[in-house]
């Protein structure tokens, strides 16, 4: 893992009325790492991801991606730079097959419109890429099933495949294990572990077992501020973190 920041967040702030959702926040993500972002509900995690992906604009501060200032870059331009988000709420085409969902995502990377459904079905290279990506998340045997027929965990993996086929340099993962049982969560942890050498990740996750299994570094947000950043073992034992977030469950 090279020690070169791929993402630099510098003094970022975002307020909604009197609420400071992001409060002079600075952090970096080093190329090749899985960097987890944790904190209690209302800490500002998703607001930060929304700013990184271009969903909302910060009030102040800067976002640098591979040295380029992308603070004002439009949302649709960021994936073409390699900054890709996988959403907290599953966003798939329910009546399309798993393969078609991933192929359409791949088509968007090539700059085509989602209007051209028929050409996607006839594009061998596109479908081969989609099939390979489905296999990488353990869904090869679900390729021809409509997305609405997949289990919740399978739909989350499909969404991950739709993000991965965009060939991200940095993948923003907003609670990829949300709503999953222990077995499904463990499977996704395994999938993300296999990807760590090819994709840098910023991970929001409430499943602390998953966080400590995956993360190279962890940043803890409380009220829009980073109160600690470090290796998982350091974060787990940090008194301020235990008091603010991990609480009695981790102390037990």
Structure token pair of residue 186: 């463990």
Tell me the CATH number at 16: 3.40.50.300
Contact 134, 140 (CB under 8 A): yes
Residues 180 and 148 reside in one and the same domain: no
- The string of DSSP letters for 185-209 reads HHHHHHHHHHHTTT-EEEEE-S-HH
Domain contains 57: yes
* Domain interval for residue 117: 97-167
Structure tokens, 38: 């944790």
Distance of CA 100 to the CA centre of its chain: 22
pTM recorded for the entire structure: 0.88
Convert the pLDDT of each residue in 205-226 to its tens digit: 988 889 999 999 999 999 999 9
Q: Where is pLDDT greater, at 124 or 40? A: 40
pLDDT of the residue at 241: 83
pLDDT digits (tens, 9 = 90+) for 162-201: 999 999 999 999 989 888 888 889 999 999 999 988 999 9
d(CA 145, CA 53): 30
Judged against a pLDDT cut of 70, whether residue 35 lies above it is answered with yes
Query: Which residues are registered as beta bridge partners of 83?
Result: 170
Q: Each residue of 91-142: pLDDT tens digit?
A: 789 999 999 999 988 887 765 544 445 555 567 788 899 999 999 999 999 9
176 occurs within a structural domain: yes
Whether residues 142 and 184 fall in one domain: no
51-103, pLDDT tens digit by residue?
A: 999 999 999 999 999 999 999 999 989 998 999 998 755 678 999 999 999 99
């Amino acid at each position: 893992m090279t020690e070169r920041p791929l993402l630099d967040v510098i003094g970022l702030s975002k307020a909604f009325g009197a609420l400071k959702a992001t409060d002079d926040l600075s952090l970096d993500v080093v190329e090749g790492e899985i960097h987890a972002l944790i904190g209690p509900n209302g800490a500002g995690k998703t607001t930060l991801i929304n700013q990184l992906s271009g969903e909302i604009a910060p009030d102040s501060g800067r976002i640098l991606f591979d040295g380029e200032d992308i603070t004002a870059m439009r949302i649709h331009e960021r994936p073409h730079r390699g900054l890709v988000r996988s959403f907290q709420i599953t966003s798939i085409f329910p009546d399309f097959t798993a393969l078609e969902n991933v192929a359409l995502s791949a088509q968007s990377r090539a700059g085509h419109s989602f209007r051209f459904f028929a050409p996607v079905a006839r594009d061998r290279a596109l479908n081969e890429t989609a099939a390979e990506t489905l296999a990488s998340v353990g869904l090869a045997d679900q390729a021809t099933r409509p997305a609405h027929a997949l289990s919740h965990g399978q739909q989350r993996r499909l969404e991950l495949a739709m993000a991965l086929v965009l060939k991200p340099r940095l993948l923003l993962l907003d609670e990829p294990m949300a709503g999953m049982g222990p077995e499904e969560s463990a499977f996704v942890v395994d999938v993300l572990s296999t990807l760590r050498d090819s994709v840098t990740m910023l991970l929001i996750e409430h499943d602390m077992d998953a966080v400590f299994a995956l993360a190279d570094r962890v940043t803890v947000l409380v009220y829009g501020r980073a109160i600690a950043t470090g290796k998982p073992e350091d974060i787990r034992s940090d008194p301020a973190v235990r008091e603010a977030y991990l609480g009695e469950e981790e102390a037990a």
